[in-house]
Amino acid sequence: MKSFFPGKRDFKSLSIYDLLQAREAYHVHLAHLENVVATAIGLYRIRSSDPDAKVAKHPLEKRSGRTSPVRTLQNTVVTPWSWPCVLVFVNRWQSQEELLKEDPDQVVPRFLYMPDGRVVPTCVLLVEEQEQAPPPLQNIAFPDMLIGGGYPVLTDVQGEAHIGSLGCLVSDGDAVYALTNRHVTGEQGRPVYSLLGGERQQIGRSYKNQVGKKPFQEVYEAFSGTRSYLNMDAGLIDVEDMNCWTAQVFGVGELGEPVDLNSDTLSLDLIGCPMRAFGGASGELVGEIQALFYRYKSTGGFDYVSELLIGPRNEQMPLNTHPGDSGTVWFFDEPIPEQGGRARRYRPIALQWGGHELLDGQGKVTFRFALATCLSTICRELDVDVFRGWNIGHREYWGATGHYKIAAKACELVTDPRLSQLLHNNVDLIAFRDEAIQSGQIRAIDAHQFVPLADVADLVWRRTRPEDEFNHFADMDQEGQGDFSGKTLLDLCQDPNNLSVDTWNHYYESLNVDKRGALPFRVWQMYSQMVQFVKAGKITEFICAGGIVSHYVGDACQPLHVSYLHHGRPDHHEEIPVHSKYETSMMDAFAPDVIAGVNQALQQTKIQPAFQGGHATALAVVDLMRRSIATLPPMDIINTFDQGGGRQLLQNMWSVLGERTVTCIAEGCKCMAAVWASAWEEGGGENIPDSALAALTQEVLQALYNQKDFVESFRLVDPQFAASLQEERVPA
């Protein structure tokens, strides 16, 4: 039956304009409430445990009762029947009954009544700010060579390093710039750095065109917001060498058309919009827009507003953003099925400039959300456009083609039927199959942050284990000095006794270098532990270690990973991009040709156990490195790169280098298959029960490779490294 007195209200017709006017009208009142720390506009958030989270009820039914459980961003959802409202954030949760007893004037009004008859509801949410200082930034995953959005960036300010993220490339029609935050770039002309090939190098300088805060109504003339500033925080980097850059965003891929958000197109339909990003500090990020025009602080009579508040999609998918993600671009993660063909292009929406770290009602669970500015607003204010077409065509996680192919193909080459079954059941956890690589549909990290084992060493351990960096290479063709004058590591290792940590350290000391490549020893260490895992019946650990070691074997068959010419000749700065052009750009551009060539080369190939013991395995890896640079000398790659070719460079490189590249990768596949087969036999794989040959789970493997002491990483100079090569017990 319809109720006339009082009449039932329907708030569905309220717009952004209405909500902002109501917040403005009640701003002074809300600002005087002791518990209120922030406000925003959005849709009413219903507790996940409430009955009306699943079945629609009338607003007045929801409002009944003087006591209620805590309501937070984390334990609530937005439903199709959630009505528009002003979100009021408080730092202490009290029921109406408690507030009425303590101080009735501190009650947040349930409705905001406007002079013209409009009524706007409020939704009160608890947010307790984390009092402890944020953890220091460590283990940032810096780019190898090809720089793009999602990569970390550094500036030096008053003796300290400011770390942020690169957003994307933009252009003013004359030059191309990298977009990030103003508080990252700083004053005009400040040098901006990243790490290229392990070296801290300048990639550009802060450009004069930047924007900090602007009066709210200068940006949104149609909306209410007097005495308010909109925080935009956008700055540009004047790029020095475009050859080292790509318009793609790492972990996301090519950019689609930017979403144009302005006073005419903004609506409450944005609430719940799924978002995706890749931050320089946190890696893969997924979330959703949870509120608009978040008023996060007041100072000197003026309020400060963020256009977007981005939070987690649900309780199972937290938004793990950290300091150092400032400058990250967020994209619309459209929930559509994969179409095949080329990879999806994600449409950029916003630029992250900050975040808040909060506690839940019990003060136990940390909750994070990001604050961001609409990219269309930034482009308008800076008079630039998103630059989407430079040096594209790479996979979302570029440079992974060879690693995934080697890891997956090796699983097919073993002859032991039970080992073959085990690897077949778990190949999708180790790498990607040919179809995914060819179609460009690989996503190296999923929503739960699982990384296929073949790229854990790069995508995870490069950030969490800085000591592992030097295990990915060894400059086998560089002549030593002093006692090692005229001798390379390849020469020394003609004598198997010289494949020792002591000998290699003495060799590196003759060159006075700190970056001591240790690739063969890393494979030695991990092979020995694989054997021990099989002996102990620890198949999960065996698969995890073997899948990860395929990455290092993959490095060993790539000529530029085993040569001192890895980034061109030391005195030829213009050759620095050769590494990325060959190993990343060319390999990604011709991924179908690589796959077809390797499959053709390995037809009818089956691999038997080939060695026993970690030392013999390391010698096999050294032999693979020797054959790699004999098959494809690094100077051949450099000379082909130096010949140029403009838009035809990659085609020219493939024409000259492609066949020999395929040969090197095929040899890597065979070596990795021998690692699997030999470790299985040496460990007594025939004793493993059939029940242990089943598929494993992402969760178990992820927890394992995130353990710091799992196949622990060391530097060559660490005494523990040499000790680990002699270890016979199973690691805990």
Condensed to tens digits (0 to 9), the pLDDT of residues 41-90 reads 999 999 888 887 777 765 444 444 455 788 888 888 899 889 999 999 98
Which among 716, 721, 552 has a CA at the least distance from the CA of 620?
552
Q: Are residues 352 and 299 in the same domain?
A: yes
Query: How many Å apart are CA 614 and CA 520, to the nearest integer?
Result: 10
Query: pLDDT at residue 461 above 90?
Result: no
Predicted confidence at residue 355, as pLDDT, reads 78
Query: pLDDT at residue 8 above 80?
Result: no
Higher-confidence residue of 623 and 254: namely: 623
Which among 214, 256, 241, 26 has a CA at the least distance from the CA of 119?
26
Predicted confidence at residue 150, as pLDDT, reads 86
In a domain, residue 9? The reply is no
393-394-395 Cα angle (round to 5): 125
Rounding to the nearest 10 degrees, give the CA dihedral for residues 326, 331, 333, 339: -130
Q: What is the largest CA-CA distance in the chain?
A: 99
The lowest-confidence range among 39-53, 285-299, 312-326 is 312-326
The lowest-confidence range among 244-248, 335-339, 466-470 is 335-339
Query: How many Å apart are CA 404 and CA 334, to the nearest integer?
Result: 27
Which of 112-121, 425-434, 508-517, 661-670: highest mean pLDDT? 661-670
Overall average pLDDT of the 219-226 stretch: 88
Q: Are residues 377 and 405 in the same domain?
A: no
Q: What angle do the packed helices 417-430 and 649-682 form, to 10 degrees?
A: 130
Query: pLDDT at residue 240 above 50?
Result: yes
Predicted confidence at residue 292, as pLDDT, reads 95
Query: pLDDT at residue 540 above 90?
Result: yes
Query: pLDDT at residue 560 above 60?
Result: yes
Output the domain CATH number for residue 162.
Answer: 2.40.10.120
Predicted confidence at residue 620, as pLDDT, reads 97
Phi–psi pair at 200, nearest 5 degrees = -70, 115
Q: Are residues 110 and 172 in the same domain?
A: no
Q: Are residues 382 and 404 in the same domain?
A: no
Query: pLDDT at residue 172 above 70?
Result: yes
The lowest-confidence range among 143-147, 168-172, 509-513, 663-667 is 143-147
Half-sphere exposure for 360 (CA within 13 Å, toward CB): 15
In a domain, residue 479? The reply is no
> 385 in helix, strand or coil?
strand
Q: Are residues 168 and 84 in the same domain?
A: no
Give the single-character DSSP code of 255.
B
Predicted confidence at residue 339, as pLDDT, reads 46
Query: pLDDT at residue 144 above 80?
Result: no
Query: How many Å apart are CA 350 and CA 331, to the nearest integer?
Result: 7
Query: How many Å apart are CA 414 and CA 467, to the nearest integer?
Result: 32
- The helix or strand, by DSSP H or E, that contains position 184, with its residue range, turns out to be helix 182-185
Q: Are residues 307 and 435 in the same domain?
A: no
> 212 in helix, strand or coil?
strand
Query: pLDDT at residue 579 above 70?
Result: yes
Give the single-character DSSP code of 274.
E
Predicted confidence at residue 501, as pLDDT, reads 95
Query: How many Å apart are CA 204 and CA 185, to the nearest integer?
Result: 10
What's the whole-model pTM score? Answer: 0.66
Half-sphere exposure for 511 (CA within 13 Å, toward CB): 19
Overall average pLDDT of the 88-108 stretch: 80
Query: How many Å apart are CA 546 and CA 539, to the nearest integer?
Result: 10
The lowest-confidence range among 211-225, 239-253, 366-380, 608-622 is 239-253
Give the single-character DSSP code of 314.
B
Higher-confidence residue of 356 and 131: namely: 356
Q: Encoding tokens for residue 576?
A: 């620095």
Distances (CA, A) of 379 to 139, 233, 348: 32, 12, 12
Give the single-character DSSP code of 108.
P
In 280-318, which ranges are E strands? 283-299, 302-311
Share above pLDDT 70 across residues of the chain, in percent, rounded to a whole number: 86
Overall average pLDDT of the 361-390 stretch: 80
The burial class, CB within 10 Å (0-12 / 13-18 / 19+), for 635 is middle
pLDDT category at 585 given cuts 50, 70, 90 is: confident
Q: Residues near 149 by Cβ (< 8 Å), separated by ≥ 6?
A: 165, 166, 167, 168, 169, 248, 249, 250, 252, 278, 329
Predicted confidence at residue 18, as pLDDT, reads 92
> 35 in helix, strand or coil?
coil
Overall average pLDDT of the 94-115 stretch: 82
Overall average pLDDT of the 512-534 stretch: 95
In a domain, residue 481? The reply is no
In a domain, residue 535? The reply is yes
Q: Mark which of 95, 126, 157 sits at the end of a domain.
A: 126
Rounding to the nearest 10 degrees, give the CA dihedral for residues 549, 550, 553, 555: -100
Half-sphere exposure for 401 (CA within 13 Å, toward CB): 32
The lowest-confidence range among 26-30, 40-44, 281-285, 676-680 is 281-285
Query: pLDDT at residue 214 above 90?
Result: yes
Query: How many Å apart are CA 86 and CA 90, to the nearest integer?
Result: 13
What is the residue range of 666's domain? Answer: 400-474+517-714
Q: Residues near 159 by Cβ (< 8 Å), separated by ≥ 6?
A: none
Query: pLDDT at residue 329 above 70?
Result: yes
pLDDT category at 128 given cuts 50, 70, 90 is: low
- The helix or strand, by DSSP H or E, that contains position 86, with its residue range, turns out to be strand 84-90
Query: pLDDT at residue 397 above 60?
Result: no
Which among 153, 528, 552 has a CA at the least distance from the CA of 324?
153
Higher-confidence residue of 338 and 40: namely: 40
CA-based end-to-end distance of the chain: 68
Output the domain CATH number for residue 696.
Answer: 1.10.575.10
Q: Are residues 414 and 334 in the same domain?
A: no
Overall average pLDDT of the 424-450 stretch: 67
Query: How many Å apart are CA 557 and CA 410, to the nearest integer?
Result: 13
Q: Are residues 187 and 223 in the same domain?
A: yes
Predicted confidence at residue 592, as pLDDT, reads 81
Q: Are residues 373 and 235 in the same domain?
A: yes
Query: pLDDT at residue 340 above 50?
Result: no
The burial class, CB within 10 Å (0-12 / 13-18 / 19+), for 424 is middle
Mean pLDDT computed over every residue of the chain? 85
DSSP secondary structure letters along 491-523: HHTTSGGG-SHHHHHHHHHHHT-S----HHHHH
Q: Are residues 382 and 408 in the same domain?
A: no
Give me the number of domains the chain comprises: 3
In a domain, residue 498? The reply is no
Q: Are residues 523 and 593 in the same domain?
A: yes
Overall average pLDDT of the 263-289 stretch: 89
Predicted confidence at residue 49, as pLDDT, reads 84
Predicted confidence at residue 174, as pLDDT, reads 86
In a domain, residue 300? The reply is yes
Which of 42-46, 91-95, 432-436, 725-729: highest mean pLDDT? 42-46
User: Tens digit of pLDDT for each residue in 683-714?
Assistant: 999 999 999 999 999 999 999 999 999 999 99
Q: Are strands 302-311 and 228-239 parallel, antiparallel or unpaired?
A: parallel
Which among 84, 164, 83, 88 has a CA at the least distance from the CA of 124?
88
Predicted confidence at residue 529, as pLDDT, reads 96
Predicted confidence at residue 5, as pLDDT, reads 47
In a domain, residue 350? The reply is yes
Overall average pLDDT of the 222-240 stretch: 90
In a domain, residue 648? The reply is yes
Query: pLDDT at residue 6 above 60?
Result: no
Query: How many Å apart are CA 402 and CA 554, to the nearest integer?
Result: 7
Give the single-character DSSP code of 582.
I
Q: Are residues 151 and 243 in the same domain?
A: yes
